[in-house]
Structure 1
Amino acid sequence: MITLIEFSSPGETLVHGQTPLVRVGHTAQVARLLGDRLNVTPVALQPRVAYPISYPAVLHRAKLELADQALPAIQPLDAVTLQSPIWFLGYPIWFGHVPRVIATLLTQTTPSPRIIYPFATHEGSGLGQSVADLQRLCPSAVVQPGLPIRGSRVARAAPAVDHWLQQYLENNPTTLKE
């Protein structure tokens, strides 16, 4: 059984130095692609207090949460979703790290996933320190190499998503079919 969880932040986002308004966050767009290919419905991770629409305000909150190592409250997820041993986990890279709502999810979930396939959207930092963050937050899990997608290229991400998935299907043909 596979779970596809994504945290995405719609609103203003950084693209080529500009902050256009997006209705569907970049990470959610990648999650939809993955969901189509894996035949799973993405589950949106939602903080109890939504992030602001304003990009500078999101950055301010994210920076404070990171500095404080905060664990922002999240909306509960279905127990069946959380019990899956295999998670595809998506998030934007904020200041080189996973958003702190991801930390909340991983530190408050029992049992924790056995295998994590991370995917992240960014605007130049790649996966940053997020893979190390995941391993620290969920030490019992095997964190697989992740898929970084530049947010400004999300509309053209299908080939990268397909290539990433193909690598794992070839190397772990039964893992994704559990």
Structure 2
Amino acid sequence: MSGVIAFYSRAGENYVNGELKTLTVGNTEAAANALQRMINADLFKIEPYIPYSQDYSECLNQTKTDQLRKARPELVCCPQNIERYDILYLGFPNYWGTMPMPVFSFLEQCHFFGKVIRVFCTHEGDGFGHSMEDIKRIYPDAAIEAGPAIRGASISQAQAEMKNWIQNIGLSENEKFERKW
């Protein structure tokens, strides 16, 4: 069995505990890294060709505009031979009640039909929003499972939440995936 952790994350100015903080590593990337250390799956960062602004207010405007026009931003790349993976662990921050538009691009360009998709997100109060429904619309035949929705303000607890999650789905830290890259 093989798995890949694909995630979208944004460093720079972020809203944390009611104030703006500059992060060198985005919250979702921190959660993805914690998960990767536990299960040894391949790690893939979803990156738009034109990144959103590091300025929080400008990023909000850009992401809202993209969502309203249902944009599908061009990505830097997609993993090659994605069909070799049985399980996709998909992580993203909640933007405007769903996934960031680059995650939509990723899901529509890479084919996970009939696969297991295990989802985790970071947020500041809205959890998954309607992202799970959006993923199910893209992949109606995939087994889609909700994992932790981690508050960005408590990202330091991501390792504990990820550990609890993998134990709940029956994967122990000793059952690490075979790396494909």
Pairwise same-fold verdict (TM > 0.5): yes
For residue 66 of structure 1, what is the amino acid of its counterpart? Answer: Q
> In proportion to residue count, which structure has more strand?
2
SS in 2 for 1:98: coil
**Shift in alpha-carbon separation, 1:47–1:32, aligned structure 2, 3 A:** same
Q: Which residue of 2 aligns with 1:23?
A: 24
Q: Which residue of 2 aligns with 1:160?
A: 161
For 2:49 and 2:83, the matched residues in 1 are separated by 18
Aligned residues: 175
- Please state if 1:142 is matched with 2:135: no
Q: How does 1:1-178 map to 2 (within 5 A)?
A: 1-81=2-82, 83-110=84-111, 112=113, 114-169=115-170
After TM superposition, the score normalised by the length of structure 1 is: 0.91
For 1:124 and 1:111, the matched residues in 2 are separated by 29
Whether the 8 Å contact between 1:86 and 1:113 is mirrored in structure 2 is no
Q: How far 1:111 moved relative to its partner?
A: 5.0
> In proportion to residue count, which structure has more helix?
1
SS in 2 for 1:161: helix
Q: Where in structure 1 are there 5+ consecutive unaligned residues?
A: none
Q: 1:100-132: CA deviations, max 9, x gaps?
A: 111111111235461110010000111111111
Q: 1:15-64: CA deviations, max 9, x gaps?
A: 11111100100000000000001112421110000111001111111101
For 2:11 and 2:78, the matched residues in 1 are separated by 20
For 1:34 and 1:42, the matched residues in 2 are separated by 10
Q: How far 1:78 moved relative to its partner?
A: 2.6
Report which structure shows greater RCO (CA 8 Å, sep ≥6): 2
Whether the 8 Å contact between 1:107 and 1:138 is mirrored in structure 2 is no
> RMSD between aligned alpha carbons?
2.0
Whether the 8 Å contact between 1:87 and 1:113 is mirrored in structure 2 is no
Q: Where in structure 2 are there 5+ consecutive unaligned residues?
A: none
For 1:4 and 1:110, the matched residues in 2 are separated by 15
